[in-house]
Structure 1
Amino acid sequence: MYKVLRSTKSAVRFSLKKSKKYLSENRYQESLILLWFSFGGADKRVSYSTGYTVSYADWDYQKQRVKTNKSRVINSHTVNNYLNKLETELMNTYSRYIDEERVITKELIRETLDIITGKIEPVEREEIVPVDFFKFSENYLNQKKDQIAQLSYTLYKGSLTKLKKYKRSRNVRVDFSSFDKPFLDDFRKFLEVHENLALNTISKHFKNLKMFVIEAKNQGLISNPPLKYFKVSTEETTAIYLNDSEIEKILKLDLSFNKRMELARDKFLMGCYTGQRVSDYNGITSENIIDINGLECFRIKQRKTKNIVDCPITLEIREIMSRYNNQPPPYLHDTDINENIKIVGRILGFNEVIKTEITKGGKLLKRNKLKWEMIETHTGRRSFCTNNYKKGMSSLYIMHFSGHKSEREFLKYIRDRGEDRTKHIVDQGYFNV
């Protein structure tokens, strides 16, 4: 016996609009015949009126057609031929859409059925060019460009660049059907071995690519991507903070002999006293200064989160500004800040030995570093959060300034560990000691 093979990803069925239970009790009650088309998950299902009605007594539920024997319907063959036409032409057109890599939506299916049934005239379409995954992703990213921070935009672009590099290196095709477990496992191996990336960096690349895959799924370009395989475990990195005493030493250090180092020091301290990211505190000007009932603050719109934060201008910040005609210190590139603030830390003898661990290239690397070697622009933000937390300021208040949206993310910044954390908790009065 010969049979027609049907795709399990799509199916046509016909049913009566009214419930079978109701119609069985009212055998000659007429009910509309509906066409149901499924082309994916539960949210990818379309119902369409055939325009014909039939009773329970004249409908074959198993065959999903009007009964031809023992039926009161004179034109049963005509109706069934019409239903067959709808099913055949819809399935053929759907297969063509798949070959053309069209974005298939419920609206497109209804439009197709309107054309098949003659309700509307077919529209002349230009030749369909298959959608390329990279072009799709880049177009989508450009659409979101004004909604995300520049840094995030750059990181997303970087993830696409890594995927392109993988494609060239492995000489493989990357399209919407590529993202299965073997492909993602091999891509991860490529990032570990070939690119020698750290575990957390690999996790970010997978997270970024997941965004494009989810959007492709939403547009019907990928039916059921295995999103769970995009999750790569992360590890807590070894990061430092500077305590209040160390920050004060940096503030009081005379650097008038080297104006560029002095500026780098002052820019870094702006992060320590405001708790902002370098992308935000590096752009502060006099235009950011506002007055709130006699309290002068910097009003900052954070680039990453778009939050508006008012940071009090402290006495320490005023001391810094006094070196620049009572204006915030001018812009300095991140690289210059990082290079010079390390030198400042070395001058001040921040030589505490820090044991670091990081998984890189698929291997756990252990190394001892001096504290001054690890000072960077983000250390200022981390120091603000940790020092205020240790002073007893509530997480909610600190997050008001830092802009963290969840306490879980905020606590990653807190660097009092072990004995320091225990002492901090006891000092809150939770124990009778």
Structure 2
Amino acid sequence: MASIYLLLQSKKSPAVIYIRLRDGRTLDIKAKTNYHIDPINWDDEEQRPTKKALKDIDIANLDTDLATLKTDLLKDYNRSKGVKVVDAQWLKDFINPPQEQEKHPDKLVDYIDTFIEFKKADVKSSTITKCNVIKHLLMRYQEHTKSTIFIRDVDAKFKMDFEKYCISVGYAPNTTARNIRFIKTFCRHAKANGVETHYQLDSIKAKYHKVENIYLDEKEIEAIEKIKISELTDGLENARDWLLISCYCGQRVSDFLRFDKSMIRYEKNKAGDLKPLIEFTQVKTDKIMTIPLHSKIIEIMKKYEGDFPRKISDQKYNEHIKKVCEKAKIETPTHGILFDHKLKQKVEKDYPKWKLVSSHIGRRSFATNNYGKIPTSFLMYITGHTTEAMFLTYIGKSNKDIAMELTNYF
């Protein structure tokens, strides 16, 4: 018959109360309880607090808890005997039942919602939007393949099949590479939460392809500046001025279209001259930026009584600047990819350059036109690139280009 004992193993106060379970010669196990007592108040023979100590309400409650523990242990042992492995770990688990781990989805599409829930307080809404875009892309891929993708299925073969599908439905190679990197991020996050992943996950590589870095050179920017006002509608003139501002400030469209005169302050430089600076917080990075305003921007602002042009939506700006560049006769045949509405797919070929102009072109034009004129570290500060390698890739500089520029110093 099983016997249960309570005992102390230390004379120091407070001492841990141990519980011991014996059953003949086959079982003798012991574990710490969550209870403590001053050894002075413990009766070894009675295996409980002394009668004198029981006058204290807290010790009386302890005595009751210990009696309940012994009763519950005996009941659980009788239920487990012959059914479970009863050993020291079993006794420890009885005293402190292991917490059940939260079970996370093992299906890739389902886990994206879990990832968003974890990250929604730490990332931009644009990142959440990207996650949902990839989720719906994966749903279409599953429908196409008539399969369900589990996180443990994300291996080299999945990567190859998913790439083929994305290219077949018109996604650009670099967009596909970005999506695969996001999928790897989802899987790694799942792995950290105990979800099974494939052993090939970390070896999956999504390489970015070199693309045509489209920018406006200085002659093209000058041509935009010289468009006759009579050739532009009020809306196109407003967009033209924003385009020129972007080419002289190097900021993202999400930032420069928010500029207003309240962000400007004047500071003296080392020569004692007052220079205009604009301070703002970047939407993408939350980084507080302070950059000088180019004299060309100051000239444009004079048209608007010291303020910036009228506010315009990103979409309308993107539409208008194509027309502005067409008016400026920026027609150099340029390789690119555009969606063909008749064919209902993206087509890669040479187009007149103005057709490939988008809201991002001002930032790249600023970086490219000023490379070699302004120290690269200063340019990186303005554009927000964190490494020189990223910056050089952004402006399309290859190792050969850099080597040729170095020949000027040899």
> Do both proteins adopt the same fold according to a TM-score greater than 0.5, normalized to the shorter chain?
yes
Task: Look up the match of 1:175.
Answer: 150
Contact 2:336/2:356, CA 8 A, preserved across alignment:
no
Alpha-carbon distance in 1 for matches of 2:181, 2:366: 28
Distance 1:422 1:118 in 2: 70
CA deviation vs aligned residue, 1:364-387 (integer Å, no higher than 9, x gap)? 975222222222211111111011
Any idea what SS the aligned residue of 1:154 has? helix
Q: How far did 1:424 drift? A: 5.0
Amino acid at match of 2:222: E
Residue 88 of structure 2 corresponds to residue 119 of structure 1: no
Q: Which amino acid aligns with 2:296?
A: E
Match for 1:326 among 301, 306, 313? Answer: 306
User: Does residue 318 of structure 2 align to residue 343 of structure 1?
Assistant: no
Q: Is the 8 A contact 2:107 2:148 kept in 1?
A: no
Report the 3-state secondary structure (helix = DSSP H, G, I; strand = E; otherwise coil) of the residue aligned with 2:216: coil
Partner of 2:284: 304
Q: In the alignment, which residue of structure 2 is the partner of 1:368?
A: 350
What SS is found at the alignment partner of 2:360?
helix
Structure 1 residues 228 and 139: alpha-carbon distance in aligned structure 2, compared to 1, 3 A threshold: closer
Maintained 8 Å contact 2:155/2:198: no
Give the Å deviation of 1:189.
2.1
Check whether the contact 1:152–1:304 (CA below 8 A) recurs between aligned residues. no
Deviation per CA, 1:306-346: give whole Å up to 9, x if none. 22221212221112222323212232122222222222222
Q: Residue 238 of structure 1 aligns to a residue in which SS?
A: coil
- C-alpha separation in 1, matches of 2:132 and 2:174: 17
SS in 2 for 1:299: strand
Q: Aligned in 2, Cα 1:136/1:115: closer, same or farther, shift over 3 Å?
A: farther
Instruction: Rate the CA distance shift 1:425–1:122 in 2: closer, same or farther, 3 A.
Output: closer
Q: CA RMSD in A?
A: 3.8
Contact residue 335 and residue 349 of structure 2 kept, 8 A: yes
Which residues of 2 match residues 22-33 of structure 1 at below 5 A? Answer: none
- Residue 216 (structure 1) shift: 0.4
Q: How far does the alpha carbon of each residue in 1:123-168 deviate from its partner, in whole angstroms, 9 at most, with x for none?
A: 8x89979665434322322443343334333222211111111122
Larger Cα Rg: Structure 1 or Structure 2? Answer: 2
Give TM-score scaled by structure 2 length: 0.68
Change (3 A) 1:189 1:248: same
Quick check: 2:322–2:355 contact (8 Å CA) kept in 1?
Answer: yes
CA distance in 2, matches of 1:301, 1:160: 30
Structure 2 gaps of 5+ residues are 1-18, 32-79, 269-273, 339-345
Superposed CA offset, 1:35-85 (max 9, x none): xxxxxxxxxxxxxxxx99xxxxxxxxxxxxxxxxxxxxxx98536999xxx
Q: CA deviation at 1:357?
A: 7.9
- Structure-2 change in CA distance of 1:79 and 1:199 (3 Å): farther
- For structure 1, which segment, 379-388 or 330-339, has the greater mean C-alpha deviation from structure 2 after superposition? 330-339
> What's 2:164 paired with?
189
CA spacing shift, 1:122–1:228, aligned 2, 3 Å: closer
Q: CA deviation at 1:179?
A: 1.7
Contact 1:207 1:230 in 2 (8 A): no
Indicate if the aligned counterparts of 2:153 and 2:198 stay in contact, CA closer than 8 A: no
Paired position in structure 1 for 2:249: 274
190, 193, 199: which one pairs with 1:219? 193
- In structure 2, the partner of 1:202 is 176
Question: 1:248 Cα shift?
Answer: 2.5
Whole-angstrom CA distance in 1 between matches of 2:299 and 2:363? 19
Query: What is the alpha-carbon distance in structure 1 between the residues aligned to residue 233 and residue 160 of structure 2?
Result: 51
- Give the TM-score of the pair, scaled to structure 1: 0.65
Which string of whole-angstrom CA distances, capped at 9 and with x for unpartnered residues, describes residues 253-307 of structure 1? 2336511101111222221111111111112223322333433212122222222
Kindly indicate whether residue 234 of structure 2 is the aligned counterpart of residue 259 of structure 1.
Answer: yes
Residue 392 (structure 2) aligned to one of 411, 415, 425: 411
Corresponding residue number in structure 2 for 1:23: none
* Alignment coverage as a number of residue pairs: 326
> Percent same amino acid among aligned pairs?
27
What one-letter code is carried by the residue in structure 2 that aligns with 1:378? H
Q: How does 1:58-73 map to 2 (within 5 A)?
A: none
Kindly indicate whether the alpha-carbon contact (under 8 Å) linking 2:120 and 2:128 is maintained by their aligned counterparts in 1.
yes
Contact kept, 8 Å, 2:151 with 2:198, in 1: the verdict is no
The match for 1:384 is 366
Letter of the aligned partner of 2:226 in structure 1? Answer: K
Question: Residues 295 and 312 of structure 1 are in contact (CA less than 8 Å); yes or no, is this contact kept in structure 2?
Answer: yes
